[in-house]
Chains A and B, each alone.
Chain A
Amino acid sequence: MLYNEPSPLETKVLSRRFGNPDSATLAGYLRTEGYQGFAKAAGMTPGAIVDEVKASNLRGRGGAGFPTGLKWSFVPRNSPKPKYIVVNGDESEPGTCKDRLLIENDPHQLIEGVLIAGLAVDAHAGYVYIRGEYRYLIDVMEKAIAEAYQGGWLGRNIQGTGFDFDLYTHSGAGAYECGEESALLESLEGKRGIPRIRPPFPAVVGAFQCPTVLNNVETFCAVPAILRDGGAAFAALGVPRAGGTRMTCLTGHVNKPGVYELRLGFPVNRMLEEVGGGIRHGKKLKAFIPGGSSCPVLTAAELDGAAMDYDSMAARKTMLGSGGVIVMDEDTCMVKAALRIMRFYAHESCGWCIPCREGTTWLKKILTRFHEGGGVRSDIDLIGDLAKNMLGRTFCPLGDAAAMPTISIVEKFRHEFEDHLNGRPCPYENSSQAVGA
């Protein structure tokens, strides 16, 4: 099912079957060039498959943007251990709701991507880790897996190729931290989701202490098209160092929020105005988060000439991230935004690393007091300093994820903190954040 109208400006590669009534069925998938990428890959050497993925310039869609082909090439070819494919479907980055659509509308595309990864690294089993809140997707996935077994696309000697592969679903049970790859592996092994020390990276020591390819749902879903139409065709859709499209989640104060598949390098102003229908109620843009609440915030002025591309965002000292675009209009209280983001990270910190556990908790307390009018001027620097002291001091990126938006909001919207001083109530409250307005 789709929850918003598509846009004519989309480039539909991963979402090309969305809207077909039978898009989630094996018959519907096979009718629309389904499993053709696998058929092609089955006739190639593992090295050639990895090279094709490298040529596509596909970069990880979970948020870090690491080149996928390179990641696959780190799996040791001659390891005597079994190898695993793990799908990260723990989508929990605030602002992000795209993997949900990919699984719901086209689960076979994900299965095919996993199979191709299996061929590339000689893995014969895989797990689709799905966050607990997405229970209905476990059913969607299991139905598709059952159909794939029945149709000979999973199991022994798939389509007479001699390749065996078993695929299973695995449910999380509510933990943002499990979206981090090493914590996800702990969770897959039936433990608390705390990060592992790296190196070794999952490509060498991953699930069950075996070499593992671990990618985001959207990353695997891009692979069938890459094998089917060639890596070069996929690369050509994007920009020089990042190929293909992004499932982009427009959220917040736009007229037409929704999930849209846009080419890498899509201009931000066109995305907001033409895809998103402009800022709600004719207001002005105040702040913009390119890919989930972990990214440093940009001001409207910083968006001049910006594109939805890794390099364009890196040049502005932020990240393309997870695809969760968060748009805030001129009436938004940035102190409140910083507080809500910090409340989230304080709730989700697994407690393993002290700078993150204590830092997020204290920042939440200080921001709460500050927003309520109990702040003093020295708090403003204190908030920034506390956040800066978390950077790079934790095993996983959750500490950085909490610190980066906070630091950017303090730096770029300092005057809004000053507006909250002297016991005055929040001067922005009740302006634009009315329900259903």
Chain B
Amino acid sequence: MTFSPQLEARFDKLLKSYPPGRQRSAMIPMLLYAQDELGCVSGDLVEEVARRVGVTALEVHEVLSYYSMLRSRPLGRHHVQVCTNISCLLRGGDKLWEHACRKLGIGNKETTADGRISIEEVECMGACSWAPAVQVNYDFHHDMTPAKLDELLDGLRKKP
């Protein structure tokens, strides 16, 4: 597989970050950074990462199935994650989540027909003092309300 020069540089740096013989350590960051570029962790990517860190594809699959951010199928270009854990719940995170589902007409880990937006109900994302919080890909949106979420989703629909 070929990757962008930026990703290749990142891989090189990662593989040099661990003690000799411990290149397997690079696996999880490699999978996540590659997923960011490719949209998901495909079977080919599993094979490629396995080859580069010197383990079997099965050992990569073991890791892939454990970490909640790694996925083997693509989601929307803008992945909207709504936290409903306790601190967000107390400030309306659950209502915000229901609002997002209704507005987009899709459910948990589903994607709109145009492939633009997917939604996920997630666990604590570390924005508890500025709750309820939403993450779009890696961008945080704090102190959300249904009106602010509408604005955010409308913006994402127009975004390239």
Contacts and interface: CB of A to CB of B under 8 A. Distances in A.
Contacts of B66: 175, 192-193, 350
Contacts of B90: 251-253, 326-328, 332, 433
Contact of B62 (A125, A192, A257): A192
A400 interface: no
A321 to B, nearest CB: 13
Contacts of B157: none
Given A100-B126, A173-B32, A189-B24, A133 B69 contact: yes
Contacts of A21: none
Interface in A45-95: 82, 91-95
Contacts of A99: 126
Contacts of B19: 82, 125, 208
B89 A174 contact: no
Contacts of A300: none
A27 B28 CA distance: 33
B115 interface: no
A172 B129 contact: no
Interface string B74-109: 000000000011110111101110010000000000
A15 interface: no
Contacts of A131: 126
Given A94-B128, A347-B123, A436-B145, A189 B99 contact: no
Contact of A433 (B29, B92, B145): B92
A133 B138 contact: yes
B85 A94 contact: yes
A134 interface: yes
Contact of A176 (B18, B24, B69, B123): B123
B51 interface: no
Interface string A180-209: 000000011111110000000000000010
B125 interface: yes
B129 A259 contact: yes
B23 to A, nearest CB: 8
Question: Which 8 pairs, one residue from A and one from B, show the smallest C-beta to C-beta distance?
Answer: A435-B92, A174-B69, A174-B68, A436-B145, A173-B67, A190-B24, A251-B87, A190-B27
Contact of B86 (A170, A188, A326): A326
Interface of A: 3-4, 82, 91-97, 99-100, 125, 127, 131-136, 168, 170-176, 187-193, 208, 249-253, 257-259, 293, 324, 326-328, 332, 336-337, 340-341, 344, 347-348, 350, 433-437
5 contacts: A4-B130, A92-B126, A170-B17, A172-B28, A437-B92
Contact of A132 (B55, B67, B99): B67
Contacts of B68: 173-175
Interface residues of B, number: 52
A436 B130 contact: no
Interface of B: 17-19, 22, 24-29, 31-33, 36, 53, 55, 62-63, 66-70, 84-87, 89-92, 94-96, 99, 123-132, 135, 138, 142, 144-147
A436 to B, nearest CB: 4
Contacts of A332: 90
B138 A95 contact: no
Contacts of B17: 127, 168, 170
A352 to B, nearest CB: 11
Contacts of A433: 89-92, 94-95
A327 B14 CA distance: 41
A257 B25 contact: no
A3 B142 contact: yes
A91 B90 CA distance: 20
B131 A208 contact: no
Nearest to B127: A97
B121 to A, nearest CB: 10
A326 B87 CA distance: 7
A3 B67 contact: no
Contact of A293 (B62, B84, B86, B146): B86
A257 B99 CA distance: 23
Contacts of A250: 129
Contacts of A344: 85-86, 123-124
Nearest to B132: A435
B124 to A, nearest CB: 4
A96 B32 contact: no
A208 B20 CA distance: 10
From A93, A187, A435, residue with most partner B Cβ within 10 Å: A435
Contacts of A340: 84-86, 89
Contact of B131 (A171, A176, A251, A347): A251
A91 B124 CA distance: 9
Given A94-B128, A132-B32, A188-B25, A337 B86 contact: yes
A93 B124 contact: yes
Contacts of A176: 123-124
B71 to A, nearest CB: 10
A306 to B, nearest CB: 20
Contacts of A4: 129-130
A394 to B, nearest CB: 18
Given A190-B27, A341-B86, A434-B92, A348 B129 contact: no
